[in-house]
Structure 1
Amino acid sequence: MKIMLVDDERSIQKAVEYIVRENGYQFCYVDNGLEALEVFAGESPDLLILDVMLPGLDGFAVCEKIRSFSDVPIIFLSAKGDIVDKGIGFKMGGDDYLVKPFSSMELDFRIKALLRRPHRLEDEPNNSDEVLKVGDLEMRLNEYEVYSGGEQVELTAKEFEVLAFLAKNRGQVFTREQLLDRIWGLDFEGDTNTVTVFIRRIREKIEADPAKPQYILTVWGVGYKFKSK
Structure 2
Amino acid sequence: DEVIALKEKVIAEKETQLKDLKTLMETQLKDLIAEKEKLITEKEKLIAEQETQLKDLRSQWVQLEMQTLQELSRVKVIANNRALIEIAMQQYKSDLSLTKGLEMFVNEHLLTVGRDKTTLSMYGREVCNKLRNFGFAAKEDFVQKELKNLMHEISKPLHRPHVSGKIYTGYVVGGEPPLAEALAIVISKLQECKFVKNLDVLLVDGEGKCKCVLSNGDIVEYGEA
Give the TM-score normalised by the residue count of structure 1. 0.22
User: Which protein has the bigger strand share?
Assistant: 1
Question: Which one has more relative contact order, counting CA pairs under 8 Å at least 6 apart?
Answer: 2
Structure 1 or 2, whichever has the larger Rg, is 2
User: Which protein has the bigger helix share?
Assistant: 2
